[in-house]
Structure 1
Amino acid sequence: MPPHSVAPKANSARQDLSVVLVTGSYDHEIRFWEAWSGICSRTISRQGDSGQVNRLAISPDKRLLAAAIHKKVNVYEISSSSDAPILTFEGHKGNVTAVSFHFEGKWLVTGSEDGTIKIWDLRNGQKHRDYDNGAPVNDVCIHPNQGELISCDQAGSIKQWDLSENVCLLDLAPAGDVPIRSVTIASDGSCLVAGNNKGKCYVWKINDDTSEFPRFQAITKFQAHYKYLTRCLLSPDVKYLATCSADRTVRIWSIGRNWDFKHEKTLEGHQRWVWDCAFSADSAYLVTASSDHIARLWEMSTGETVRQYSGHHKAAVCCALHDGPG
């Protein structure tokens, strides 16, 4: 376990500032939490601003927090006590549903219900590139090679985009027009997992050794939940997959050597839909956000809640955690 883990600390007298844990809610608030104590250390209140907080992302150096808020993205300085963003990116015409930082922190990618994916330059605050996805975007992730994007959408497509050019390299539709809700790619670039509105997950192996760009090979599919799936996320060590659902649970799947996914345990405790999740850097803990207004910290080995974060007044729909090196 890393020295700055989210693991509870019995004798610590102050917050471990190297752990950044944030939640966003329909109450228009963004809350920073002391991971081990469960205390809210900072609240960014936006009561006068329209639109709920949809997604959150922490920059690799832990300096910035990007918050997708209705049709725009606000970028906040994590070390600051100010509620004012240092940057605001406007240009989407629909709800922003995805936000992610480039590993060097130089640019930000966003996806929206307006059917576009946009690249924003954090150095000059300008839009760098537009991609026309052709359908409302539900999720976007950056390939570990930092040269491609993977998106999924309401039309049931998973697309691979080349970041050096405005071109779609691959278009997959594993279940016809059933909307794909979430995509996640392994930290080593070895596989891609997508989950759809009917609770089914699809897995592809990514081969990089045969072409300039990854080639996707369908490996398996399985029924993760029997209700709406909201998020799927591979652990940093690529040993587990977490799936969140409208059935109020999070299911943990262990990943075998032959890419077989086995149901390991079910995390139960949330009283309403579970919308989002985030792994700790060592894959030993998972944070979840739910419509029951609460976020939880789970210990993966036991499947038990070890901390609860209470303070939001409406649904907690997104969370972000960074406890690795900055």
Structure 2
Amino acid sequence: MSQPSVILATASYDHTIRFWEAQSGKCYRTIQYPDSQVNRLEITPDKKYLAAAGNPHIRLFDVNSNSPQPVMSYDSHTNNVMAVGFQCDGNWMYSGSEDGTVKIWDLRAPGCQREYESRAAVNTVILHPNQTELISGDQNGNIRVWDLTANSCSCELVPEVDTAVRSLTVMWDGTMVVAANNNGTCYVWRLLRGNQTMTNFEPLHRLQAHNGYILKCLLSPELCEHHRYLATASSDHTVKIWNVDNRFTLERALVGHQRWVWDCVYSVDGAYLITASSDTTARIWNMSNGGVIQVYQGHHKSTVCCALHDGAEPCST
């Protein structure tokens, strides 16, 4: 099976993962995932594998195979895995779970290599572009920086006490972090650095982006032209696009989904945005005018996560 140039995958509460032809909207492969719902999808940097974060395991599927069976299963979490991602060279994987832990997995060796205790259900984990720090957000409102070199927590902050941090995103150059919470608020910090590690979060902006939950926030990629943007996906059925370079003014609202929008992901050049919604569909939007280019229909229940790999993404160091 030849590798498609664009890999688009979605997962749903109908216990399936679907692969789509991005332009035509045709589903060309369906994987049954009977053991649990899938909370998050991520494609490896080399496009070879798709990681599906479920409950309580992570399964790795071969993108270029028709086999329904995973090639690897990672099983030491004890509750829903809510976050999964890869180091830029694809050597290791990180995850965060409602069991209160952040874990690191060496893809070349069996078992969990490291574990960090967050003491509350972990909703989101991101890897800083320096590839040496993880940032996690949990149900109690805590944000923690895990220094992988020192093997310890190097920073903690709580933007709103007892308000769950639902999503985190970091600018591609490592200069900015955004946290989105259940009150519809985004907190923005400038990252001050010393000796190549984060030393301080300097408050930059507080954005009341939605009246409902923010389920995903995402900063635009390095190759995005003209301006830098923040996308926020919400339970209010919309995705809003904010102009980072113009003090987070609202650029446009993407309106069309009929229910909660759970996830979003940019194309590598920032020209398009893929969204996944409880209305069972995924959509691709044109970022220049807010129009819908394609609707991906085939799931029978809420579509809660999506993953896209459409080009060579730069590996920051």
**TM-score bracket, shorter-length normalisation:** over 0.9
Displacement after TM superposition at 1:164 (Å): 2.3
Match of 1:45 in 2: 32
Displacement after TM superposition at 1:309 (Å): 0.3
Match of 1:325 in 2: 312
**Counterpart-to-counterpart distance in 2, 1:123 and 1:165:** 22
Of 272, 276, 280, 1:289 maps to 276
Deviation string for 1:63-95 (max 9, x for gaps)?
A: 111000111000011111101111100011111
Answer yes or no: is the 8 Å Cα contact 2:137–2:166 preserved in 1: yes
Q: Aligned to 2:197, what secondary structure does the other structure show?
A: coil
Match of 1:74 in 2: 59
Displacement after TM superposition at 1:125 (Å): 2.6
Is 1:312 equivalent to 2:296 in the alignment? no
**Counterpart-to-counterpart distance in 2, 1:157 and 1:126:** 27
**Counterpart-to-counterpart distance in 1, 2:79 and 2:179:** 23
Is 1:195 equivalent to 2:180 in the alignment? yes
Displacement after TM superposition at 1:100 (Å): 0.4
Displacement after TM superposition at 1:220 (Å): 0.7
Of 212, 220, 232, 1:243 maps to 232
Answer yes or no: is the 8 Å Cα contact 1:16–1:34 preserved in 2: no
Question: TM-score with structure 1 length normalisation?
Answer: 0.92
Of 270, 279, 287, 1:300 maps to 287
Q: Aligned to 1:227, what secondary structure does the other structure show?
A: coil
**Counterpart-to-counterpart distance in 2, 1:230 and 1:150:** 17
**Percent identity between the aligned chains?**
51
Match of 1:121 in 2: 106
* Mapping 1:7-46, distance limit 5 Å: 17-46=4-33
Question: TM-score with structure 2 length normalisation?
Answer: 0.94
Answer yes or no: is the 8 Å Cα contact 1:76–1:87 preserved in 2: yes
Displacement after TM superposition at 1:165 (Å): 3.6
Point out the more displaced range, 151-160 or 237-246: 237-246
* C-alpha RMSD of matched pairs (Å): 1.3
Of 83, 94, 113, 1:98 maps to 83
**Counterpart-to-counterpart distance in 1, 2:131 and 2:118:** 19
Is 1:266 equivalent to 2:250 in the alignment? no
Match of 1:11 in 2: none
Is 1:60 equivalent to 2:45 in the alignment? yes
Distance 1:212 1:278, change over 3 A: closer
Match of 1:213 in 2: 197
Instruction: Look up the equivalent residue of 2:136 and give its one-letter code.
Output: S
Of 184, 191, 215, 1:230 maps to 215
Match of 1:10 in 2: none
Q: Aligned to 1:53, what secondary structure does the other structure show?
A: coil
Q: Aligned to 1:292, what secondary structure does the other structure show?
A: coil
Q: Aligned to 1:256, what secondary structure does the other structure show?
A: helix
Instruction: Look up the equivalent residue of 1:308 and give its one-letter code.
Output: V
The alignment of Structure 1 onto Structure 2 pairs a total of residues equal to: 307
Answer yes or no: is the 8 Å Cα contact 2:3–2:64 preserved in 1: no
**Counterpart-to-counterpart distance in 2, 1:180 and 1:160:** 14
Q: Aligned to 2:39, what secondary structure does the other structure show?
A: strand
Displacement after TM superposition at 1:206 (Å): 1.0
Query: Which ranges of structure 1 fall in alignment gaps of 5 or more residues?
Result: 1-14
Of 161, 183, 189, 2:146 maps to 161
